Structure 1
Amino acid sequence: MHPFGALVRYPKGWEGNLPKVKTISFAIPCYNSAAYMDKCIESLLTCGDDIEILIVNDGSTKDNTSEKAHEWEERYPGIIRAIDQENRGHGGAVNHGLECATGLYFKVVDSDDWLDSAAMVHVMAYLRRQVERKNPTDLVIGNYVYEKVHEGTRTVIGYRNVFPQNQEFTWDDINRFHSSQYLLMHSVIYRTDILRGMNLQLPEHCFYVDNIFVYAPLPHVRTLYYINEDMYRYFIGREDQSVNESVMLSRIDQQLRITRTMIDAVDIVNDVPQPKLAKYMENYLSMMMCICSVFLRMEKTSENEQKRSDIWKYLEDANPELYRHVRYNVLNMGTNLPFEFGRRIGLGGYRLAQKIFKFN
């Protein structure tokens, strides 16, 4: 029986031989990713042989993603595992990867992104030290980089102003996040037991689940460590990417679904005793509500206005005190002003942020 109680699928030749615990499990959700998955996998292999790479083929049908995954497994037995599943969406692929993981730590790397080899030398050195500790760090954090390959530009998101460096710390030790700073899936490495202990299950057949991944587990995290290295390279530029503006418009109902799930996942007011963490989570939810409001106002329809009203009512019914904090957060004061004036204020703020932070 696996120590976590989950079903683990080991590579051929491992039958009857329980492997040494891996330092980290990297899960790569892949859906028709054959054209770019190799770069991602190659960047992970530089991390050493005490890792495992879980290539989760999420029911790809348009290319040879599955075949490539199995070829990689044959080349690196004991390190790479190819996992095929029926299509369950990005969340379903992450769920399956977490179910199969044997590493002390767990990190998701999207198949069109990659990790910086030089940065990972420092990250892996710290993670390896945790293997020997009785109480390993719960959450390890690194920087991430927006790589706009077609423009030849890059934007680094770091946390030097927020977190202590070269020491383990708690939520009480953090400083204030800037408006552009959030913990995204790119920047976090969770201890696997944290995610399993809270029974994390991401919604399936839905985009934007990464917001839940970096939000719901935070109250379960007690210790953190920040490594000031540009660890994760986040590719931006594909037309079908989920952060593409036209794609986000077409998937606004999924954005609303994820936001409702986040509202239900954590009672920030009553269940998050650490004030600094509670404030951060409140600001994160404010950002999510702002995104919903802005995108619903991009197209002037009565249906969108009703949806905007409904999502705010959902928050108010769920937690009136949190509603007041989020509704009058600086992000949402202008975004939700009535009539055409409010709509233009909201869209103008979004365009300005888009130029400054280059997030899509």
Structure 2
Amino acid sequence: MKLLSIAVPCYNSQDYMEHCVNSLLPGGDDVEILIVNDGSKDDTADIANRLEAEHPGIVRAIHQENAGHGGAVNTGLAHATGLFFKVVDSDDWVDLEAYKKILSFLKTAVMEDRLPDLLLSNYVYEKQGAARKKIMQYRKYFPADTYFTWDDVKPLPPTIYILMHSVIFRTAVLRRSGLELPKKTFYVDNLFVFQPMPYVKTLYYIDADFYRYFIGREDQSVNESVMISRLDQQFRVTRLMIDCLEKSGPLFKNRTLCKNMCSYLNIILSISSIMAIKSGTEEHLREKEALWQELKDMNPSLYRKFRYRTLLGIAMNLPGKIGRKCSVLAYNVTQKIYGFN
């Protein structure tokens, strides 16, 4: 059995996927790199096959009809044999020294028969053209280099939340949670992190800048114009997260876990809302109102908390054109400070 399975979803990734895979190869025989070619129309399949031939027992090329990012992650998880599971997007890469630290810890965890359900580390926004790289780290909120539970976690502020880039799950935890991401849908990264959280009992945080998150391609899913064009998918994921939170209710035995999951949902709901506002179309504004109404119908107390007791909820629901302009201004200021998109 492998120590770590790393899924690399690829769609028309010929120009950058090899850089990603090369950054993962130093893991050697402890890892399996699952290149999931998601129906690419360029040379992705050939590159994947070549890398598998060059690195037998480490790289596996898996080919499928196009199912989107979520479908590719599902395929990677279905084929994973590792004790732990990580997703690295094909235009991203990892830092070598941090990678060594993580693999060293995982080996020790196996030897001591003390496997965390979730391993966390930092990620870096590798934003094209940016003079200063923003590092998203958690040292103020998670105890470093020790096992801990949700009781030891401080509530995360609205500007800090756990992304797919931050996490390495124990594979068994992902499977126990019943995780199956929707196909042909972007922004499922959030659901990947969100749904398994109630099944996580023990955590470990390594304060190292492991994941390098590239931002800058015009066709990238987090490009603002692309996000607006795919708002239907953003709304779909947000609805699934609301539904997931409702279904997970009986699993909540920790107040901090519940608080952090609610905060995460509030952030994603706010992102969906601000993109609808920025689009300026009546259709998207109606969809935004419908989304908030669905939350109100499903969980009135949570709706009231988000809508009237959090700055994000208040800012995303200011009335009229002037209110919407203020919402956009608040978003733009936050965007400039934290360098996302």
Q: Same fold (TM over 0.5)?
A: yes
Q: 1:167 & 1:272 partners in 2: Cα distance?
A: 23
Indicate yes or no: 2:185 matched with 1:206: yes
RMSD: 1.2
Structure 1 unaligned regions, length at least 5:
1-20
Contact 2:3/2:83, CA 8 A, preserved across alignment: yes
Give the aligned residue type for 1:320: P
Give the aligned residue type for 1:235: F
Question: How far is the alpha carbon of 1:152 from its aligned partner?
Answer: 4.0
Q: 1:149 & 1:304 partners in 2: Cα distance?
A: 30
Q: 1:150 & 1:37 partners in 2: Cα distance?
A: 21
Q: Secondary structure at the match of 2:8?
A: strand
Give the aligned residue type for 1:222: K
Q: Deviations over 1:115-173 (max 9, x none)?
A: 00011111111111222344411000000000113334311000000001121000000
Q: 2:73 & 2:36 partners in 1: Cα distance?
A: 8
Question: How far is the alpha carbon of 1:179 from its aligned partner?
Answer: 2.7
Indicate yes or no: 2:340 matched with 1:344: no
Q: TM-score, normalised by structure 1?
A: 0.92
Indicate yes or no: 2:168 matched with 1:189: yes
Give the aligned residue type for 1:29: P
Q: 2:240 aligns with which of 250, 261, 275?
A: 261
Match of 2:68 in 1: 89
Q: Deviations over 1:70-120 (max 9, x none)?
A: 000000100000000000000000000000000000000000000000111
Structure 2 unaligned regions, length at least 5:
none
Match of 2:261 in 1: 281
Question: How far is the alpha carbon of 1:270 from its aligned partner?
Answer: 4.9
Match of 1:43 in 2: 23
Q: Secondary structure at the match of 1:161?
A: coil
Indicate yes or no: 2:140 matched with 1:161: yes
Indicate yes or no: 2:339 matched with 1:358: yes
Q: 1:324 aligns with which of 284, 304, 309?
A: 304
Counterparts of 1:24-173 in structure 2 under 5 Å?
24-61=4-41, 63-173=42-152
Name whichever of 273-282 and 128-137 sits farther off.
128-137
Q: TM-score, normalised by structure 2?
A: 0.97
Match of 1:334 in 2: 315
Contact 1:161/1:177, CA 8 A, preserved across alignment: no
Contact 1:285/1:326, CA 8 A, preserved across alignment: no
Question: How far is the alpha carbon of 1:240 from its aligned partner?
Answer: 0.2
Q: Secondary structure at the match of 1:234?
A: strand
Give the aligned residue type for 2:338: F
Give the aligned residue type for 1:339: G
Give the aligned residue type for 2:75: H
Name whichever of 150-159 and 101-110 sits farther off.
150-159
Match of 1:230 in 2: 209
Give the aligned residue type for 1:350: Y
Q: Secondary structure at the match of 1:266?
A: helix
Q: Deviations over 1:257-304 (max 9, x none)?
A: 000000111226554221111111111111111111111111333222
Q: 1:56 & 1:301 partners in 2: Cα distance?
A: 36
Give the aligned residue type for 1:69: A
Q: Secondary structure at the match of 1:52?
A: strand
Match of 2:3 in 1: 23
Question: How far is the alpha carbon of 1:57 from its aligned partner?
Answer: 0.1
Higher helix share: 2
Question: How far is the alpha carbon of 1:69 from its aligned partner?
Answer: 0.2
Contact 2:155/2:259, CA 8 A, preserved across alignment: no
Q: 1:144 & 1:41 partners in 2: Cα distance?
A: 17
Q: Deviations over 1:297-338 (max 9, x none)?
A: 113332222111100011111111211122222111022011
Q: 2:241 & 2:155 partners in 1: Cα distance?
A: 22
Q: Secondary structure at the match of 2:148?
A: coil
Name whichever of 277-286 and 226-235 sits farther off.
277-286
Report percent identity of matched pairs: 50
Match of 2:286 in 1: 306
Contact 2:116/2:202, CA 8 A, preserved across alignment: yes
Indicate yes or no: 2:242 matched with 1:250: no
Give the aligned residue type for 1:304: H
Q: 2:312 & 2:253 partners in 1: Cα distance?
A: 24
Match of 1:16 in 2: none
Name whichever of 173-182 and 77-86 sits farther off.
173-182
Q: Secondary structure at the match of 2:45?
A: helix
